[in-house]
Amino acid sequence: MKEDPSVISIRLEDVASLRSYSCQSMACTFNFHLIGDNSGLMDSAVMEAEERLSRLEEQLSFYIEYSDITRINRAPLGEGIRISQDTVDCLLQSFEASARLGGKFHPFLGQANTLHKGQQNELPHLAELLVKEAVSSEPVISLDQESNTVVKLRAGPLLDLGGIGKGFALDQLQYLFQEWEIEQGLIECGGSTFLAMQPPDDVSSWELTIGYENRVGTISLTANQVLASSGVAFQGSHVIDPGTRSPTYNWKRSYAIAPRASLADAASTGALLLDTKSLETISQQDPDLSFALFSNDSEFHCGLHFECLSES
């Protein structure tokens, strides 16, 4: 591997007919690198994308008092809460991701995340709910997909989709750009999650640089693949183990490649808490998922999409 201190980087200077846009949402920067000759169409599509992001944030944010997530967290036991289709879809994808990652990604860690980050004062609308919870595997909510209704089954755990919400938003933006007949591009959020649309005409994939400290290599993303990263560069040491409610792990940085940004986000987070045998088992049983992890003195990768690192 060559020396390069970057986390994830990509060269865009030589891409013909590329226009880049940025906007702020969900407490991070979203960047859209879109390829096409119709600049007016792309400008209009990006305006709609910004509006879409704003609506998603209002529905999915743990920090907004009137969001669907807050309404679920504050709901009385047994009372049905109607939520948006986006929230239903994001919930379902979070449950799927948790199952695929052996429970190491968990959507009900709101208390633990908030207490470890010292953010209690930022959440006055949840103040009475931010108490230390007992670890339990009992279900917290039920979801009726036909009526988009959530019922809280037990008090305690708080729903927080922060580990998957930005990736879910990227997936929705890809669909939006495709509706505008924009098929080529690379869209990303927070410098940590990159969703590949169709690459430029003269190449078969997008090439991105990843790694940790002086151990860096290049990987290729083909259309509809997503690369996500987690670790100390992004969250500090605040990735919480669902089983212990503690932020203890040995890896400094993780990368995951998946066919959806929501799954890639969850996988890069869950990977920090999984041992190498579990990661190998997941990638063997689920070829859509690949992992690469780095610590101060070691690295590990498994799955088809990171085989190139063995050759670096």
Query: Where does residue 151 rank: exposed (0-12), middle (13-18), buried (19+ CB within 10 A)?
Result: middle
pTM score of the predicted model: 0.92
Higher-confidence position of 15 and 6: 15
pLDDT tier, 111 (very low <50, low <70, confident <90, very high otherwise):
confident
Q: Under DSSP, is residue 235 helix (H, G, I), strand (E, B) or coil?
A: helix
pLDDT tier, 114 (very low <50, low <70, confident <90, very high otherwise):
confident
> Looking at beta carbons, which pairs linking 18-22 to residues 24 or more positions away fall under 8 Å?
18/185, 18/200, 21/46
Domain boundaries, the chain: 8-37+183-311
Average pLDDT of the residues in 12-34? 92
Cα–Cα distance, 292 to 305 (Å, whole number): 9
The pLDDT tens digits of the residues spanning 124-183 come to 888 788 776 656 678 999 999 999 999 999 988 899 999 999 999 999 999 999 999 999
Higher-confidence position of 248 and 221: 221
Average pLDDT of the residues in 240-262? 85
Cα–Cα distance, 159 to 110 (Å, whole number): 6
pLDDT tier, 237 (very low <50, low <70, confident <90, very high otherwise):
low
Cα–Cα distance, 154 to 157 (Å, whole number): 8
Q: Is the pLDDT of residue 4 over 80?
A: no
Q: Under DSSP, is residue 253 helix (H, G, I), strand (E, B) or coil?
A: strand
The pLDDT tens digits of the residues spanning 175-221 come to 999 999 999 999 999 999 999 999 999 899 999 999 888 888 899 99
Give me the pLDDT at residue 135, please.
Answer: 61
Q: Under DSSP, is residue 217 helix (H, G, I), strand (E, B) or coil?
A: strand
Cα–Cα distance, 254 to 301 (Å, whole number): 9
- Identify any residues that bridge with 26 across adjacent strands, giving them in sequence order: none
122 close to 63: Cβ distance less than 8 angstroms = yes
With both helix axes pointing from N to C terminus, report the angle between 165-179 and 85-100 in degrees, rounded to the nearest 10.
Answer: 120
Place of tokens 């994001």: 90
Higher-confidence position of 202 and 225: 225
The pLDDT tens digits of the residues spanning 33-57 come to 999 999 999 999 999 999 999 999 9
Cα–Cα distance, 297 to 312 (Å, whole number): 17
Residue 262 phi/psi, 5-degree rounding, is: -60, -45
192 close to 26: Cβ distance less than 8 angstroms = no
End-to-end alpha carbon distance in the chain: 5
Assess if CATH 3.10.520.10 describes domain 8-37+183-311: yes
Give me the pLDDT at residue 233, please.
Answer: 61
